[in-house]
Amino acid sequence: MKRLTALDLGFIYLEKRNQPLHVAYLNLLTPPADAPDDFVQKLVERLRSYAAPLPPFNQRLESSLGAAYWVEDPEFDIEQHVIHLSLPRPGRIRDLLSMVSRMHASHLDRAYPLWRTYIIEGVEGGRIATYSKVHHAVADGIAGTRLTLRSMSGDPHDILPPPWAVPPQGRRERQANLLTAPVTGVARLASRFRHAFDSVPTVARELRQSMREAKQKHPDFVSGNAAPPSILNRGISASRRYAAQSYSLPRAKAAGKVLGGTVNDMVLAMCSHALRRYLSDLNALPDKPLIAGVPMSTRRDRSETGNQIGFMLVNLGTHLDDPLERLNCIVASVEHNKQRFIKMKAGEILGYGATLMAPGLLNMLTNPKGGRLAFNLVISHVPGPRSNLYWMGCRVDGMYPVSVVVDGMALNISLTSLEDRIDFGVIACRRTLPHVQRVLDYLGEGLDELEALAARST
């Protein structure tokens, strides 16, 4: 038995009918050249043969004595978690993305461990796909990527077990049971209170500095309620629209080298251009700059479960016509955040961020159309290995994140940088944001724009 942390529990309590809170990956795969006709069927049988999963994949949610725990499922059924599907011919990528949109809109059943993997055959070009989702209470983006990479290798002949059959990394959690839960709960609570105030001096100091910067109108500081209301920040329905595409990592790196920015800076500039174009199409571009909530991992171990994330608030400069001015605005905003956070420990980052963003988050929950918000959308970038990857003998052609949208934030852009690609996944409420697939074209335009800026600078 493992007790949920307050942050993990938040993802359970915030889940609603129109707001499932699971994260996922869509992997696009090319089977071996000599794969037999029944390759996918044999693959599904192999995956289902791992029918005794390890934590957290064998744990379901249970409440006891006023607390929530992960407990081992004594009746685990692998067929509830490994599903075999096929696309109708001709298996277009558009049809695959539509299928993922529908699957991502459906909730995970809490009667079972909160994960599921779909094996999808019939993708055009002889390819297959996997769509694997896990509840956000189980894993954040960094942890989810580590879980996904568990079963991948740089050797096409190295057939590794699936993630649920690989022993967990990082710290080992001490086990508890229902009889000892009250005692251990009190002990843990006492321990937490003993250290609860350790970060207060640093958090207070940083908040005072933020108040000074806000009063002085520091150009690179973003307050916790600076995001303007926009069409992105409306209520959502239960329907989803998912779009995904890959872009060149070497192109982004080369542009960043000339322009003095990191790959992450280039990615944010691509998103800024795309959002500016998309909202302009809808005559809905705010006069004030959009603010991105950019997750940053505070994980200090090799663990692959739970949530250990803080947020940078980044000015995307979407109010600026000139692309170089937008890029400079983004780079300065990111660097300002880095200089603040480099002095803080993980707990201090969490405490500072939560306090800073509290007014904007409250407005997001209660008055997203009229109030000032903490951020307009989340843009999450998780870097991965720079070598070729294979899964069950299949070459990994794309590893696209599928994240969450919530009431007050109808769009999420997530990406993974792998090998020579940047794999983008864009998820939105289908009803609130029409034609969101256009964002993919505008991301490509954004990369072209950065290359043009770099060419003029040389």
Catalytic residues: 136
Using H for helix, E for strand and C for coil, what is the string for the chain? CEECCHHHHHHHHCCECCECCEEEEEEEEECCCCCCCCHHHHHHHHHHCCCCCCCCCCEEEEEECCEEEEEECCCCCHHHCEEEEECCCCCCHHHHHHHHHHHHHCCCCCCCCCEEEEEEEEEHHHEEEEEEEEECCCECHHHHHHHHHCCEECCCCCCCCCHHHCCCCCCCCCCCCCCCHHHHHHHHHHHHHHHHCCCHHHHHHHHHHHHHHHHCCCCCCCCCCCECCCCCCCCCCCCEEEEEEEEEHHHHHHHHHHHCCCHHHHHHHHHHHHHHHHHHHCCCCCCCCCEEEEEEECCCCCCCCECCEEEEEEECCCCCCCHHHHHHHHHHHHHHHHHHHCCCCHHHHHHHHHHHHHHHHHHHHHCCCCCCECCCEEEEEEECCCCCCEECCEEEEEEEEECCCECCECEEEEEEEECCEEEEEEEEECCCCCCCCHHHHHHHHHHHHHHHHHHHHC
